Amino acid sequence: MIDRLLANQRLLGMVVAMLCLLGLASYLTMARQEDPNFPHRAGIVTVVYPGATAESVERLVLDPLSDELLQVEEVDIVEATARAGVAMIRVRLWDTIYDTDSAWERVRQAMDRAERDFPGGIDRMELDDRIIDNPTVTLAITGSPSVIEMSAAADRLKQALSDLPGLARVEVAGDVDEQITLGLDDSAMRRMGLTPDNLLNSLAVRNRVIPGGHVTADGKRIGVLPNSEFSSLEDLAATAVELPDGGLVPLAAVAEVWRGPVEPRQAESWYDGERAVTVSLFVRAGQTDAIAFGEAVRERLTQLRPLFEPLQINEMFFQPDQVQERLSDLEVSLIFSVLIVIAVVFFGMGLRMGVLVATTLPLVALISLGLYDLGGGILHQVAVVGMVISLGILIDNAIVIVENIQTRLNAGAGRKEAMSRAISELAGPLGASTGTTLAAFMPLLLSKGGTGDFTRGIPVMIMLTLSISYLLAISVIPLLAGRFLKPSPDRDDPIGGMALRLGQFSAEAPRTVLAIGGGMMVLSLLMVPFMKLQFFPNADRPQVVVEMRMPAGTDLAETGAVASSLEKIIRQRPETESVHRFVGYAGPAFYYNLIPYPESPNRARLVVNTPSLEDTRALMLWLREEGAQHVPQAELVASILGQGPPRAAPVEVRLFNPDQRSLGAAAEQVFRLLRSHPGTVDVRHDLDFGAPTLLIEVDDAIAARHGVTRADVARSLYGQSFGLQIEQYRREDDPIALVLRSLEGADLPVERLLSVNIYNDRGEGVPLSQVARVDSSWQPAAIYQRNGARVTSVFANLRPGYSYSQVLGELERGLDETPLPLGTRMEYGGDSEGSTDANSALLKSAPVGVLLLLFFLLLQFNSFRRVAIVLTTVPLAAVGVIPGLVLSGSAFGFQSVLGVIALVGIVVNNAIVLIDVLDRQLARGETIADAVQEAVIQRARPILLTTATTVAGLLPLVFSSSTLWPPMAWAIISGLLASTVLTLLVVPAICRLSLARDVVPQAPLKEA
């Protein structure tokens, strides 16, 4: 092999150089974003059924629709909410689904099948299967008291930005549509003998779009445009309406005509106290550099702002700044990690060997980045962290090769012989150790679901860098070592002296060593009760999200007034920099972890920007203790942004029971138990206490005598409040609806309901009081279902220092003493469900990793005993993890699991190279005691250097401002420090006892 390398070293050098240039070009041009993309596995189906009660919506819409959706194989969960006049169904696909477009097409087919069973009167049904998309930039247009003016400006801005490179779509929110209202004067209508149908017919005849054809003059066609539609509001008000006696009156005689926002009131956006209309820009996922896109947006806005004056275009949420800050911080951490690793290598190996080993870092990093980009990779924080983790591990191969060559040169071997023997001796063991590390990360690579999608960049980057480092270690590094290394005199080696003592201890007192190792494991396990559990840590953005929910049935205007008063109070706090308010909807999903909810008139969201992360804690504490007292009619939940898969709360308990009374009692019981726990805050449930409703009981017999039906009554009542769309005004860019209703509309006094006229086919007006009676009732305002069954959920946030496992454990003990009502089923959501799903996904793919691990080990050793010895190092990895997390105050969660996986790969590598040397010594005829000592002496330096470089490389992550990566870094550092010492002691001790009878290894390796 060395002859081929020497013969083709120029070709090899050119290939490596070209790949490095590819990596450099990729770094400069590849797409950048803060977090990975997720498949579109979540969607919302909205069905509008005007006038129906929540129970009617459930029975007539939700039940048939849920039945059809649950029959779609790709659908995992169907969560539905029925409210008066609307049904909202959140559909979630299985975590194993990646071809989401086909899945959503089958969901649409199920919707079409369900629609056949729907009653008449359904206004619309639509599916939004892109709810997890996050806008890269959200702009806010302010500066006018007229929302209509700002809405028009938002449409102009949307057009002006539509040609930006990389832009996928633009969404406008907080705007208002317009309608032209015809407010009927009932007394005038009765006096003139008119009915709404008379007006409908007159307006329909007058507002037709009829072509006039053309005439020809001097060989040219001249179009004829008849004035057959309304040209202005004055023209509309002057429309002639025929009276029963044949006379004519203008429409203005029986109705007021005005132009204004649509009714009922639409959702609102407020930018730092000013009414605003938002414009959200979405980029093409995985194809656009968010930082470059942000620069292009700002450059375009600089040109556009003068054209929109006196309106202002403000940056509400600007994700490119977050991407720039996050990647810059991680790149700084990466650079510091590289410098620290190089310093450790120079210190441990000297200048010449240190330079050769350090050369591996930029080569592997650039080549890996180029190949990662070619494979469609995106530069985000997870990928960068994967490279940081791999820094210390990837130079292990180079350390072993360089040191082996240097040792042979010191022993008097020639350069070619030293290179050849080093490659032939170490290619197999290093290949096996690299393969086992790849096998350790294989379950993480293959795991499905949101957690696996979020963290997949780590195994991809680590596996890529390790593979490349191995190839360079058996090709480029030996060539460089043969050229630049030279024999060096022996020097004092403190590592060698320590290795000698460790080897002697393991060889002379193996049972004592095993007892010490077992004792350390027991001590580590005893610290488990002190370890906190947390699925994912919170984000490190200085923002507080305040969710405000009013009682069901609250009007949007009242919700907006309460939200406004809350905002004024928050602004008085010293922790507040700015506040953005969204009433009736959740606002732009400016962060991937935010849960969007459909438009709801009783909900509002406030996003509070604070100077620092510490200020968020003080503000949340104030909101919980004092802020809620200022708005006692509202339920407030203050939280900071989270990490990992979205969830409504860290603690979520779902309760199912077919009996509504038992379900309510179960929810109250769980609510009391959670609220009594010292670690919970913001405990709430979604029990529905109902909303006042007026029931119109029609007497069918009397109604039939007057020639009216229930449908006539419902249509007349709906027309009185929200109105009926009768025509369109087409003189604008977009048609405007003409709505016929009473003058008061939704403000119609309740006492006047009985005097509302119901018109029969003969045009006769019949007062409602003659055919029906009005009763008050308390009807459900919202009904919740999960996979077709009614459900009630109880939620709780956590105080600092508490974990979901502590709260749920105490809850279960309380329920053991006082069981839930008979027939109640309980399941957990929140972090408990997310952690279970993530661990389950890892376990499903774990057999593949275990199979590969065993394959590489058996391929290397061909001995089950040696494989078993190597596998004993896996528990050693946990010895330091638990104390490290406890002492550092870090919680054990999915990020810590990532650290343990990386740790397993490292300690298994150490054991492989250690046993390989021991087998070679046995093959030379040495005793087991001498072989154990020599193995420790030869491999102590590479193992300790790998440990030192890995720990040093992770230190910048430990002290970074991010909250996501320190738990993982602490798990690797503490576990590696403990397991390294134990590996140098326990593995030789086990070999001393279990391989004592071996004269030669079972698969002797031949030296070149």
pLDDT in tens, 617-626: 899 989 888 8
Q: How confident is the model at residue 493 (pLDDT cuts 50, 70, 90)?
A: low
The answer, yes or no, to whether residue 68 has pLDDT greater than 70, is yes
For CA atoms 157, 160, 162, 165, give the dihedral sign: negative
The answer, yes or no, to whether residue 302 has pLDDT greater than 80, is yes
Distance of CA 970 to the CA centre of its chain: 24
Residue 633 counted as domain residue? yes
CATH number of the structural domain spanning residue 705: 3.30.2090.10
Where among 112, 131, 150 does a domain terminate?
Answer: 131
Long-range contact list for 621-626, CB < 8 A, 24+ apart?
622/573, 622/575, 623/544, 623/546, 623/570, 624/681, 624/682
The answer, yes or no, to whether residue 908 has pLDDT greater than 60, is yes
Taking phi over 0 as left and psi of -120 to 50 as alpha, with beta for the rest, 141 belongs to: beta
Where among 487, 517, 551 does a domain terminate?
Answer: 487
CATH number of the structural domain spanning residue 584: 3.30.70.1430
| 370 and 233 part of one domain | no
Q: What are phi and psi of 350, to 5 degrees?
A: 90, 175
Is-contact 400 912, C-beta < 8 A?
Answer: no
Is-contact 276 109, C-beta < 8 A?
Answer: no
| 632 and 730 part of one domain | no
Residue 826 counted as domain residue? no
Distance CA 111, CA 314 (A): 40
DSSP 263: S
Residue 381 counted as domain residue? yes
| 118 and 235 part of one domain | no
Distance CA 676, CA 699 (A): 52
Distance CA 467, CA 459 (A): 12
Q: How many domains is the chain built from?
A: 5
| 77 and 140 part of one domain | no
Q: How confident is the model at residue 1007 (pLDDT cuts 50, 70, 90)?
A: very low
| 291 and 388 part of one domain | no
pLDDT in tens, 684-701: 998 877 777 777 888 888
Residue 999 burial by CB count (10 A; 0-12/13-18/19+): exposed, middle or buried?
Answer: exposed
Distance CA 901, CA 911 (A): 16
Residue 607 counted as domain residue? yes
The answer, yes or no, to whether residue 489 has pLDDT greater than 70, is no
Domain range holding 390? 1-30+350-414+444-487
Residue 811 counted as domain residue? no
Residue 726 counted as domain residue? yes
Distance of CA 552 to the CA centre of its chain: 28
Average pLDDT over the chain reads 85
* Structure tokens, 862: 């061909």
The answer, yes or no, to whether residue 72 has pLDDT greater than 90, is yes
* Structure tokens, 874: 């896996």
Distance of CA 706 to the CA centre of its chain: 59
Is-contact 611 542, C-beta < 8 A?
Answer: yes
| 51 and 107 part of one domain | yes
Residue 887 counted as domain residue? no
Of all helices (H) and strands (E), which one includes residue 208? none
The answer, yes or no, to whether residue 44 has pLDDT greater than 90, is yes
For CA atoms 234, 235, 237, 238, give the dihedral sign: positive
* Residues whose CB falls within 8 Å of the CB of residue 438, separated by 6 or more in sequence, listed in order: 463, 466, 467, 852, 905
| 364 and 449 part of one domain | yes
DSSP conformation letters of 409-468: HHTT--HHHHHHHHHHHHHHHHHHHHHHHHHHHHHHHH--SHHHHHHTHHHHHHHHHHHH
* Structure tokens, 917: 């040397």
Strands 178-184 and 736-742: parallel
The owner of tokens 């082996």 is: 404
Higher pLDDT, 208 or 336: 336
pLDDT at residue number 102: 94
Distance CA 161, CA 181 (A): 33
CATH number of the structural domain spanning residue 148: 3.30.70.1320
Neighbours of 243 (CB within 10 A): 15
State the number of CA atoms in the 13 A half-sphere of 551 facing the CB.
Answer: 8
| 269 and 301 part of one domain | yes
The answer, yes or no, to whether residue 1003 has pLDDT greater than 50, is no
Cα–Cα distance list, 562 to 1, 81, 587, 630, 635 (Å):
78, 24, 17, 10, 11
| 363 and 482 part of one domain | yes
| 465 and 557 part of one domain | no
Alpha-helix residue ranges (DSSP H) falling in 245-289: none
Helix, strand or coil for residue 274?
strand
Higher pLDDT, 226 or 241: 241
Residue 378 counted as domain residue? yes
Where among 93, 116, 131 does a domain terminate?
Answer: 131
> Of the candidates 776, 780, 781, 782, which has an alpha carbon nearest to the alpha carbon of residue 694?
776
Output the pTM of the full model: 0.83
Distance CA 268, CA 942 (A): 63
pLDDT at residue number 1006: 41
The alpha carbon torsion through 453, 455, 461, 462 (nearest 10 deg) reads: -130
pLDDT in tens, 164-199: 998 999 999 998 888 888 888 877 887 888 878 777
pLDDT in tens, 320-335: 998 888 888 888 888 8
Is-contact 369 334, C-beta < 8 A?
Answer: no
The answer, yes or no, to whether residue 997 has pLDDT greater than 70, is no
* Structure tokens, 807: 């709260």
| 546 and 619 part of one domain | yes
Of all helices (H) and strands (E), which one includes residue 729? strand 724-729
pLDDT in tens, 378-425: 888 888 888 888 887 788 888 888 888 888 888 888 888 888 888 888
Residues composing the chain: 1008
* Structure tokens, 716: 């007349």
Region 734-756: what's the mean pLDDT? 78
| 601 and 631 part of one domain | yes
The answer, yes or no, to whether residue 426 has pLDDT greater than 50, is yes
